[in-house]
Amino acid sequence: MAVKAQVLYSFTAEPGNNELSVQEGETLTLLNQSVGGGWIEAQNSRGQTGLVPEDYIQINSRSAASSTGSFNDAYSATSYSTTAPQGVNGSDAWEAHSTENCDSTQQQALAYQGSIDDDEWDDESDDGKSTGGYTWSQSEEGGGTMQRGTGHHTMKISLNKVFSKTPNPEVFLLTKHMVKENDRLPIYMGEVGPVWLYPQTQLDCVVADPKKGTKMYGLKSYIEYQITPNSTNRPVNHRYKHFDWLYERLMEKFGCAFPIPCLPDKQVTGRFEDEFIKMRMERLQGWMSRLCRHPVVANSEVFQLFLTYTDEKDWKIGKRKAEKDETVGVMVFTTMDPEIRELDPTEVEQKCETFSRFTRSMDDRVKDLLSVGHLHWKRCTGPLQKEYQRIGKAFQNLSSVFNTSGYQGEATLTEALTATGKTYEEIAEICAGQPKKDLHFLMETNSEYKGLLGCFPDIIGVHKAAIEKVKEADRLVAMNKIGPQDKHTMAKNLSTMSYALQAEMNHFHSNRIYDYNRVMQLYLQEQVQFYETIVGKLKQALSQYTTF
């Protein structure tokens, strides 16, 4: 029996990409559900066939059941539990604070993950999943709209995520560890307080030369970008899905310690249009530059793999190694080595609360600026542009009337009025195009910081949970659930977490000052040039009038 599906959302096909345009409510016949990459081959009622996004349709339960019943029966006989291991919670966790009980589940997950064929990497869709974060996109009128990454896109959940180590700070607090020299992340006392170790030469890279490629015998297309780091000056090629993989790895490894900026939003339609490719490349450049400026991320093995892999084999080996990394989540703190005195828990709590207040306040103000900027952009490309056009038209209409008077001495005036009208029409176009020259960069920077600030509540939440656990230490010692040495270990590890947070906040502040200095200078320079251009045009129009 043919499998039928109902279209949930309208979809417009990209020309020359073997896709099928569908309308909401339409019924399709599914021809091939194994295409991969978040796509399904289907046929509409008119006999047209093509690829549609699988999350834009809903398979009818009756037809699906009849075609998959035998498979489900076979699967149920050999099914296994995929329940993620429980995190260490509550006071009972302190009775046995080793994680040996999770080892078998972790090994099962890793073993199953390792059995996935390498071709799986090539079957993912470039734009199949929406990531979090806000983006700033321009409409046809040139205005901007803030969008949250909540589109209906295919999400591929890796087993690393299903069986990931949850950010329970007690797992780290009770860990007695010696930092390996190769993994060591030193924290020093600088002029502004605790700081990361910064390299002598700043890592940077250039994202350029987007090219269209194909896969699946030409059925599907994608855009590949060339990334050239200044450390090697040797370009490597990556598709958007590779950036997405890097984002997931960085989030899993460092997400408890510092904010990882959100990727540019994914998109199902229009992704081969020149304007979209240009905008995405610009945002990927900003994303990579920000990561390059973070000393810990820039020097991490997974980030270096992304920038410097030599061939496909090297990439796959490095990818597998990164996906099996054990120092992820709160365990990343085991690699941090503050060469500073231990902090008192009370001092830790005060600093944590200070950072929390600042990030909340800055988040509110960034949102305000985004909202105001959005309204200003719309006004420049809408009401303000039309207002100047109407003024210009009114002056030209007045000139036309004066021309009908038959009076011989007013030619100079009518010509000047006509020129004035055209000047205001030119000003209208200048106003409409100005946001792309100045406001665009200000909005992009604010959008980036909105994403970064959105990460801090979770990061600070991990630190506050650790503080609460350390506060319980005396009670746990009295109940013989931990020993005095464990209490000291907890306080020492909490101090490490606090120094990491302080180093990250100092890095954040340093980048914030640099970024806003740079973008405000650019914005004001463009504003000055904008008004000087208008003044020049008005002076030119003024010079055409006779002085009595």
171 contact partners, CB below 8 Å, separation of at least 6? 88, 97, 99, 165, 330, 331
The residue whose two tokens read 């129009």 is 541
Q: How far is CA 354 from CA 459, 462, 486, 501, 509, in A?
A: 14, 15, 28, 11, 13
Taking Cα atoms as reference points, which of 36, 33, 53 lies closest to residue 215? 36
Here the tokens at position 268 are 């199902």
The total of other beta-carbon atoms located within 10 Å of residue 278's CB is: 11
Q: Is 62 annotated as a binding residue?
A: no
DSSP state letters, 255-297: TTTS--PPPPPP-SSSTTSHHHHHHHHHHHHHHHHHHHTSHHH
Give the three-class secondary structure for 88. Answer: coil
Separation CA 329–CA 167 (nearest Å): 6
Here the tokens at position 63 are 């037809």
Separation CA 49–CA 31 (nearest Å): 9
Q: Is 360 annotated as a binding residue?
A: no
Looking at the DSSP assignment, which residues form a beta bridge with residue 146?
Answer: 136
Separation CA 492–CA 504 (nearest Å): 19
Separation CA 223–CA 248 (nearest Å): 20
Q: Is 235 exposed, middle or buried (0-12, 13-18, 19+ CB in 10 A)?
A: middle
> Is the alpha carbon torsion for 380, 385, 391, 395 positive or negative?
positive
Separation CA 136–CA 52 (nearest Å): 26
Q: Is 239 annotated as a binding residue?
A: yes
Taking Cα atoms as reference points, which of 132, 164, 137, 163 lies closest to residue 148? 132
Q: Is 382 exposed, middle or buried (0-12, 13-18, 19+ CB in 10 A)?
A: middle
> What crossing angle do the helices spanning 301-308 and 240-254 adopt, rounded to 10°?
170
Positions of E strands within 12-87: 27-36, 39-43, 49-53, 57-59
Angle at 440 between CA 436 and CA 442, to 5 degrees: 145
Known binding-site residues equal 239, 241, 280
